[in-house]
Each structure stands twice: as C-alpha cells, then as structure tokens.
C-alpha cells in the first residue's frame, strides 16, 4: 500500500499488509486489526471506528487505535473527523529509543549519548500536519516534565513549540563538549555498548567551560544536534545541571532554528543568589559562534567559581556580570578568541592561598614562600574589578581589596588560554601613604613574587593592560 500527496509530495508506503475487518452496518463500530511493515519494521495495528457512515460524511465519530512495534507503542481513545485528518482524544506513546525512532521515521539524529527511552501522554489533537498536546506528561531518558506543546514540521525538520515545566534536568549527556571528549577516547572498533558506556562516563564527570587547573581541550566539538530540530519554547526547570554547575530553579525562553539557538534566561536561582541573561549559539558553520551576557547577584563566590572554573580560592558573596563573544571548533579555540568585558564585586570574604597584607608587611618572607601557601588567607571587606577581554586575555586597571587594615590596589592581565597572569599589586596601610608594591607573574601554580618599590614594572604592566583594552574595542 502506498500513498502520495501531490500537493506537497509527501508519501508513505506499507508492505506485508495483513489486516482483517468485517462491516455489517455503516452505523455500527468497525474494527480493523492485523499487522504490516513500515520501513522494514513490523507493526501490529488495531483500529476501531465508531460509525463509518459519519466518518465518510465528514462528521466526527468515536475512534480508537493501538499500535505496537519494536520502537513505538501507541494508544489513542477519542474521536476523528476522518475527511479532515483530525483526531482529538487521550493519547499515550512510548518506546525504548527516541534516537532510533527518529531514524525510523526519516528524521535521523546524529549518534551520541542520551535520547533513549521516552514516554508522552496527554490530550492530543491533530490536524494541519501537526500534533498538539495539552496537559501532557513527558519523559525522555531521566528527564521528566509536563506542559502544553505542539509538534509539527518546518524546513523539513521537526518543530516543537509551547511551554514545558521540567523536573531535575541534567544537560550534560546532551552537550557537545561531553560527547566530543567521550568520542575522542573511543576506538573505532568499539561496540555500541562500549560507546554508550564511554558517553555515560563522560556525562557523569563533565568538564568545565573554563578550568584554570587544566589545559584547554583541542578535541573538536560537534553541535550537529542543534541542526536536527527547530523549537520555540517557554521552559521552567527545577534542579538544572550544566557541566559542574547546578541551578536550583530557572525560567527561560528558547528559540532554535536550523542550528542557531537563542535563549533568554529570565531568572536563575543558584548558589544562594540569582541571575539572568542571554546566550546565543550559532552552529550553522563548522566553527561555532557563542555570545553570552549574564548578571549574577548574591551568589556564594567559592561554590560558584569552583564549579564554573575550578577557581576555589575566593570566598564571599559575589555580584558578577560579563558579556563575551567567541568563535571556534574546540575549547582551546573558543578560549583564545574570547572578547568582551566582565565585572566582579565580592563582600565579606577572603582570598585563599596568599596573605597579601602579610606580603606587604614582610616582603622578604613572602618571596621565600612563607606567606604563599594553601592555608594562607587574605580576609577582606570588599573586592571589585572590571575587566576588558580580548583573545582570551582579561585585563584590569582597577582591582581593589579592602581589608580591615589595608587598601590593596592592582592592575594586570590574566591569560586564560596560556593559564598565566601578570599583575602589579600595591598594598597600603589604612590611614597612611606607605605602600610596598610588588609583582605577581607566572603560570598557574608557579607564581613568582618580586618587589617593585622603585616602580620599574609599572609601565610594563600598564602597557599590557592598555593593549588588551585596545584590542577589546576593535
């Protein structure tokens, strides 16, 4: 059995059709049951039409359907207006793999971890080549949610629109960086089970977008999944996990069109504070383009920065804002091309790993490492800094720490890609003009501290900062 709609050239074909029915009265129910094959997979089918005469006359009539196959099971009870292709009623669909089902239906999704077992149920209405669910319950993998949404087709791709409330959402299995890192470690001869296990392991210990303790990855990231579906959704989530970060609650608007994603985050509750912002991700070309604009207020700086960047030496309540743009195919390329600006303010906290006030008081001891150790701390009442960002390098000329007895000012650059910094720090005792400037230079974990009482390093560091600021404006 085959069908072609010449209006849009849509078509389908069924093989090995073995259906049975009996019709004794056009005003009594007609039952059709049997099996057939669609795209080389068997399908058991049971249909019941309440009043065939009404269906043929274009009137609504009771209708039920049940379909069973390896990849999809469907139950529907409601009514149909057959001539208009309309169904309305309660529906339930489930299967072991959404990824395999998409391939079977002709809309293949690239290989990867996730998009396995699924289930959806709710009030279904069909017509105009779309499926509309009301008060629906949805489950994909371990993700569960509910809401109202419509599934249709645009530009030869599935299109999903509506609103969803999602519970406990872990995005890591679906992130390109997670899948790319796992794929890079999998042998070409590995079995499907071995590949799935590697993907699952990578998702359980995800990388950070920036990790100051690890060199950036050169594994190419694959965002092809963003080109397989289009969407326009209003999302509310409970617990949300992205890489190492955890969000307690979020509200966002998401638009996805042919590989271009724009998400407006109306509210995020995280790390005891809140945030808002916007992210745009353009994956239409081989090198992805990313724009991020965020503001975070009242967050626990230590927990937030540890999870976000593996930076665990800052304590206090923080306000952060940043606007950045970057382009690349790998994590290292994205970091190296980052441009934008950032600002941070922290109150009632401490800087771990160094006693800056002690450095200024006993400069010789500091350079011998006596005040640079894991248990050293610089308590402060307030800390702030604004940064210009160019090519993955942050530059600031207004870094400030206010401790109970010191005012500490600083200028310098932080090279994220090179994992190094170059700064000049000027501590000054409160109420005096006495200051003992010094420089901090070198790679992460290998900083060198040197006195700059004569100011010889000042112009050099100022030139570095000015260069980054100039490039950030270009």
pLDDT score of 191 more than 70 = no
- 340 is a domain residue: yes
Q: What is the mean pLDDT of residues 190-215?
A: 62
No. of helices (H) and no. of strands (E), the chain: 9, 28
CB neighbourhood size of 237 (10 A): 22
Q: What is the pLDDT of residue 171?
A: 75
Ramachandran class of 111: left when φ > 0, alpha when ψ lies in -120 to 50, beta otherwise: beta
Q: What is the pLDDT of residue 232?
A: 96
Beta-bridge partners for 163: 148, 234
- 126 is a domain residue: no
**Of 396, 373, 394, whose CA–CA distance to 386 is shortest?**
396
Q: What is the pLDDT of residue 99?
A: 82
Q: What is the pLDDT of residue 363?
A: 54
Burial 300-338 (b: 16+ CB within 10 A, else e): bbbbbbbbbbbbebbbbbbbbbbbbebbbbbbbbbbbbb
Confidence of residue 98 (pLDDT cuts 50, 70, 90): confident
Q: What is the pLDDT of residue 31?
A: 94
Q: Mean pLDDT, the chain, as a whole number? A: 85
Helix, strand, or coil (residue 453): coil
Residues 348/404, Cβ–Cβ less than 8 Å: no
- 385 is a domain residue: yes
Instruction: Pick the more confident residue, 316 or 211.
Output: 316
- 234 is a domain residue: no
Confidence of residue 74 (pLDDT cuts 50, 70, 90): very high
Q: What is the pLDDT of residue 373?
A: 66
- 309 is a domain residue: yes
Residue 106: exposure state from Cβ atoms within 10 A (0-12, 13-18, ≥19): exposed
Structural domain for 399, as ranges: 270-473
Q: What is the pLDDT of residue 364?
A: 45
Phi and psi angles of residue 466, each rounded to the nearest 5 degrees, phi first: -65, -40
pLDDT score of 182 more than 90 = no
Q: What is the pLDDT of residue 404?
A: 79
pLDDT digits (tens, 9 = 90+) for 289-319: 999 999 999 999 999 988 888 888 889 999 9
- 41 is a domain residue: no
Cα distance from N-terminal residue to C-terminal residue, the chain: 63
Which two tokens mark 400? 């400030």
**Tally of domains in the chain:** 1
Confidence of residue 407 (pLDDT cuts 50, 70, 90): confident
- 368 is a domain residue: yes
Q: What is the pLDDT of residue 355?
A: 67
Q: What is the pLDDT of residue 242?
A: 80
pTM (2 d.p.): 0.79
Residues 382/434, Cβ–Cβ less than 8 Å: no
Chain centroid offset of residue 227 CA: 15
Q: What percent of the chain has pLDDT over 70?
A: 84
Q: Where are the beta strands (DSSP E) in 102-257?
A: 118-127, 130-140, 143-154, 157-167, 169-170, 230-237, 240-242, 245-247, 249-257
127-136, 200-209, 274-283: range with lowest mean pLDDT:
200-209
Q: What is the mean pLDDT of residues 406-410?
A: 88
**CA dist list (Å): 164 to 144, 149, 173, 182, 369:** 10, 7, 20, 30, 55
- 349 is a domain residue: yes
Q: Is the alpha carbon torsion for 218, 423, 320, 291 positive or negative?
A: negative
Q: What is the pLDDT of residue 78?
A: 96
pLDDT score of 204 more than 80 = no
């Amino acid at each position: 059995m085959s069908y072609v709609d010449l209006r849009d050239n849509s078509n389908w074909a069924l093989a090995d059709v073995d259906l049975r029915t009996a019709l004794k009265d056009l005003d009594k129910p007609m039952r059709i049951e049997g099996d057939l094959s669609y795209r080389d997979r068997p399908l058991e089918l049971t249909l019941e039409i309440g009043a065939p005469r009404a269906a043929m006359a274009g009137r609504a009539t009771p209708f039920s359907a049940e379909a069973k196959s390896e990849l999809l099971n469907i139950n529907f009870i409601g009514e149909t207006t057959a001539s208009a292709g309309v169904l309305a009623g309660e529906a339930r669909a489930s299967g072991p793999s959404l990824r395999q089902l998409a391939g079977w239906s002709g809309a293949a999704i690239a290989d990867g971890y996730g998009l396995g077992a699924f289930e959806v149920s709710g009030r279904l209405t069909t017509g105009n080549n779309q499926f509309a669910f009301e008060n629906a319950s949805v489950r994909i993998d371990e993700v569960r949610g509910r809401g109202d949404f419509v599934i249709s087709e645009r530009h030869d791709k599935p299109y999903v629109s509506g609103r969803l409330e999602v519970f406990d959402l872990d995005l890591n299995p679906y992130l390109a960086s997670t899948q790319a890192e796992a794929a890079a470690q999998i042998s070409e001869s590995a079995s499907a089970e071995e590949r799935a296990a590697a993907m699952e392991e990578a998702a359980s210990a995800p990388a950070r977008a920036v990790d100051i303790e690890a060199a950036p990855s050169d594994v190419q990231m694959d965002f092809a999944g963003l080109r397989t579906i289009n969407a326009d959704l209003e999302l509310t989530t409970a617990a949300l996990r992205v890489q190492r970060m955890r969000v307690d609650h979020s509200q966002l608007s998401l638009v996805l069109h042919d590989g271009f994603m724009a998400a407006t985050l109306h509210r995020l509750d995280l790390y005891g504070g809140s945030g808002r912002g916007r992210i745009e991700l353009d994956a239409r070309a081989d090198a992805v383009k990313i724009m991020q604009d965020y503001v975070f207020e009242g967050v626990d700086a230590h927990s937030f920065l540890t999870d976000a960047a593996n930076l665990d030496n800052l304590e206090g309540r923080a306000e952060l804002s940043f606007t950045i743009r970057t382009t690349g195919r790998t994590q290292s390329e994205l970091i190296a091309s980052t441009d934008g600006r950032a600002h941070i303010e922290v109150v009632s906290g401490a800087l771990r790993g160094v006693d800056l006030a002690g450095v200024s008081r006993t400069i010789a001891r500091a350079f011998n490492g006596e005040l640079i150790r894991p248990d050293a701390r610089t308590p402060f009442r307030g800390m702030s800094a604004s940064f210009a960002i160019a090519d993955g390098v942050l530059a600031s000329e207004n870094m400030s720490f206010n401790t109970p007895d010191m005012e500490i000012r600083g200028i310098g650059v932080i090279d994220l890609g090179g994992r190094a910094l170059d700064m000049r720090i000027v501590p000054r005792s409160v109420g005096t003009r006495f200051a003992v400037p010094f420089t901090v230079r070198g790679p992460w974990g290998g900083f060198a501290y040197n006195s700059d009482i004569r100011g010889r390093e000042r112009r050099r560091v100022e030139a570095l900062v000015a260069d980054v600021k100039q490039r950030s404006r270009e």
